[in-house]
Amino acid sequence: MPEQPSVQVTAAEISRIAGVTRATVSNWRRRHEDFPEPSGGTESSPLYDLQAVRAWLASRGHASAAGPAEELRTTLRLHGGDGAGGTADLLLLVLAAARHSPDDLAATVRLPDADLAARAERDAAAVADAVPGDDADRAPFKAADAPVLRALYVCVRDEGGQAALGVLAERQLEDSGASGAYRTPAPLADLLARLLPGAPTRVLDPACGSGSLLAAAARRGARELYGQDVLPVQACRSAVSLALTTPEDDTTVTVRAADSLRADAFPELLADAVLCNPPYGVRDWGHDELAYDSRWAYGVPARAESELAWVQHALAHLTPGGHAALLLPPATASRASGRRVRAELVRSGALRAVLALPVGAAVPLHVPLQIWLLRRPEPGGPDRTSVLFVDTAETTMPAGPGDTGAAPRTRGSGGRAALLDWERISDRALRAWHAFTDSPDTFEGEPGVARAVGVVDLLDDMVDLTPARLVRASRAEVDPAKLSAEIEASRLDLVEASESLGRAADYDGWNAADGSARDWRTATVSDLARGGALTLLRTVPEGARGRDEEGGGTGDETRPVLTAADLALGSGPTGDPAKHRNETAPVIAGGDVLVRAVASGSGPMARVAGQAEAGALLGHQVHLFRPDPARLDAWFLAGFLGADDNIAGASTGSTVVTVNPGRLRVPLLPLEEQRRYGEAFRRVHELRAEAQRATRLAEETARLLAGGLTGGQLLPTEDANPSR
């Protein structure tokens, strides 16, 4: 039998395992002759044998500082393989472990290897029916699987079932070589669910992926959840994730692994609603073998129109009058090959609305995706004479720090971080949709944003359903006087913001260090917490059931929730307490230091809680550091905790970069010197906030001016002539 290749790691992964910076790893390589030699990679990006690295670290007393999720990831690479203990089998164990108390899990990890394997086997068997797959094909756990089993139980105990689930799914996708599996962002999934009228009980997602759309439907009252995915690992992940997050007593979850178009697992199902984010641009979707399929009531989709096949699949699974919301690429609305199917969808009244989203709303991040809202026509129902079009692509961020928009960051075109104001995107989409459904015949719309277009006007040679083109046609309806007044108000706000920015930029309270950069001793947050200098709090993940942690939690639904998106944007607390309700959520106090738990995009990672944040609940994905004011200055702490190199040294993961708060480092300085640094960091924060406000107002003012000039509502004055 050929020798199994060794597991290799990069220098960055070594730094995460050891809990040091990448520079420290580079120093080890140069200074220690016994440091393991590269076993692969290139000269610029060497790879090292993981077992050799761990042995070297152990010989020098460097215990692993990786968090539970990173430790599970590393252990899977060392011990996880096919057969017993494979990642597909371990998905079952996540669900079982999440149903145990923390004390029970702590006792489990202390069991001898053989007893641990037997316990895991019993746990997995107890929940086998909840996950799609043939339990008869599952290999039993053995004592050799103990390292992986122990790491999994610890991860579930300390970070929750969802964290362990994400690591296992990531590993299984790597093993299977599958590609194109992306999670629908939570605010987008929530918007799709909110666009469904009424309160649907039975909801289907025929391309369920990780289950985020079905979870959003469950949060809005759906109690029969049906999912299907072509990737078995995604189907398993969805089933486990939904079982972790939905009430066990009154929710039915049914997930199957198969190709929904070729092998529909629910051929007789008629759902109240369908939510779907299908795969895009798939040419081998079954065009030839499905040419005479009964689902194509609106025309046979062309080979290049897999998205229109998904649209008709969704309609075929709806009860008459039921609604579907699908996330689709913009080409679906305009490609010539789909013209006939689009025309029939419009003519029959099945297509009710098309909503354009900004670039960066979801993968693929460089494409402005669209939401299609459909309704299965009812026999003898009313004729639908118009279709709603909404364009949210130009939704701007709030104009000031006091605004309440929530803006999760995604990666936009050109590699730059795009700030998406999901609160305003959702408000614009829902307001237009609800007004249209209440009275489609008298819907007035909003010039340049929302417009109802008659069916007759849409049925031209191309049947182009692109919202941007159709809503712009109504710009001439804008009242010139009203627009002029709006621009003047925006301009005055911009002038005031520019003056504030100038005052903030006048600060020059620093001196250059003598000769070289200053160096200082540091301590980790974990060490500072053990010494009583600060307290680290968090909101326990939803998957960690029964966990009892310190945090001063409250079930008060009247308090707003501070989310990671609020930190990214610089806004006040905007989270809905009904969505974030958790008895373990700490209440934020003035002077607390808040740090985002996921490092993504640009903008500040940390800030000090002020009057706007005091009294709010701490949201998920935010770490709270409560310093002892007699030992640590809050702004000093925030400045160093949010530093780029500090965040990088304490982060793990590639697609989702998670910050391990205990590994963040803080300089050990006298309190008086801390306060000088703190004042400087506070001024930096003020400068950034004023710059963001001025930028938002400048963009808004410029947009209004340009639109008014091109739309004919504004005329240039005579003194606008260029100087001669």
Please determine, for residue 456, whether its predicted confidence score (pLDDT) is greater than 90.
Answer: yes
The CATH number covering residue 12 comes to: 1.10.1660.10
* 20 plus 72 within the same structural domain: no
How far is residue 312's CA from residue 345's CA, in Å, rounded to a whole number? 9
* 24 plus 116 within the same structural domain: no
* 531 plus 657 within the same structural domain: yes
Q: Which of 110-119, 320-329, 678-687, 697-706 has the highest mean pLDDT?
A: 320-329
Query: Which whole-number Å values give the CA distances from 73 to 16, 155, 243, in the listed order?
Result: 12, 10, 23
How far is residue 492's CA from residue 497's CA, in Å, rounded to a whole number? 9
* 16 plus 148 within the same structural domain: no
Judged by DSSP in three states, 425 sits in helix
Q: Which amino acid belongs to residue 79?
A: H
Largest CA distance in the chain: 90
* 660 plus 541 within the same structural domain: yes
* 47 plus 96 within the same structural domain: no
* β-bridge pairing 593-596 and 622-627: antiparallel
Q: Which amino acid belongs to residue 35?
A: F
In a domain, 627, yes or no: yes
Mean pLDDT value across residues 95-119: 90
Mean pLDDT value across residues 271-300: 94
- Closest by CA position to 328, among listed 343, 338, 317: 338
Residue 578: its pLDDT value, please? 60
pLDDT confidence bin for 88, thresholds 50/70/90? low
* 47 plus 76 within the same structural domain: no
Burial of 603 (0-12, 13-18, 19+ CB in 10 A): middle
In a domain, 305, yes or no: no
In a domain, 243, yes or no: no
Query: Which whole-number Å values give the CA distances from 651 to 20, 28, 50, 508, 596, in the listed order?
Result: 10, 20, 19, 32, 11
Q: Are 235 and 207 in contact (CB under 8 A)?
A: no
State pLDDT tens for residues 549-588.
444 444 556 678 888 878 887 778 887 666 555 556 889 9
Cis peptide before 364 (omega within 30 of 0): yes
Mean pLDDT value across residues 463-484: 80
Q: Could you write out the three-class secondary structure of 152-199?
A: HHHHHHHHCHHHHHHHHHHHHHHHHCCCCCCCCCHHHHHHHHHCCCCC
State pLDDT tens for residues 54-64.
788 877 766 55
In a domain, 539, yes or no: yes
* 49 plus 127 within the same structural domain: no
The continuous run of DSSP H or E covering 43 comes out as: none
Q: End of a domain among 177, 197, 232?
A: 177
Q: Residue length, the chain?
A: 724
Number of domains in the chain: 3
Q: Which amino acid belongs to residue 544?
A: A
In a domain, 158, yes or no: yes
In a domain, 473, yes or no: no
Residue in this structure with the two tokens 């490092």, named with its chain if needed: 599
* 568 plus 631 within the same structural domain: yes
Residue 611: its pLDDT value, please? 87
How far is residue 581's CA from residue 602's CA, in Å, rounded to a whole number? 28
**pLDDT above 70: percentage of residues in the chain:** 84
pLDDT confidence bin for 84, thresholds 50/70/90? very low
- Closest by CA position to 643, among listed 659, 628, 624: 659
State pLDDT tens for residues 150-202.
989 999 988 888 888 888 877 776 655 555 567 888 899 999 999 999 889 99
Q: End of a domain among 13, 34, 58?
A: 58
User: Could you tell me the pTM of the whole model?
Assistant: 0.70
How far is residue 27's CA from residue 623's CA, in Å, rounded to a whole number? 31
Residue 313: its pLDDT value, please? 98
In a domain, 311, yes or no: no
* β-bridge pairing 252-257 and 224-229: parallel
Please determine, for residue 53, whether its predicted confidence score (pLDDT) is greater than 50.
Answer: yes
310 phi and psi angles, rounded to 5 deg: -65, -40
Please determine, for residue 719, whether its predicted confidence score (pLDDT) is greater than 90.
Answer: no
Domain membership of residue 542 as a residue range: 522-668
Supply the mean pLDDT for the chain: 83
In a domain, 457, yes or no: no
Instruction: Look at 12-16, 144-148, 458-462 and tell me which has the smallest mean pLDDT.
Output: 12-16
DSSP lists the bridge partners of residue 659 as 651
718 phi and psi angles, rounded to 5 deg: -65, -35
Our CA angle for 565, 581, 361, nearest 5°, is: 30
The CATH number covering residue 547 comes to: 3.90.220.20
* 86 plus 11 within the same structural domain: no
**pLDDT above 90: percentage of residues in the chain:** 39
* 80 plus 51 within the same structural domain: no
Q: How far apart are the first and last CA of the chain?
A: 85
How far is residue 472's CA from residue 477's CA, in Å, rounded to a whole number? 10
Q: End of a domain among 149, 177, 205?
A: 177
State pLDDT tens for residues 344-356.
999 999 999 999 9
pLDDT, greater one: 15 or 38: 38
* 541 plus 647 within the same structural domain: yes
Handedness of CA 528, 531, 536, 542 (dihedral sign): positive
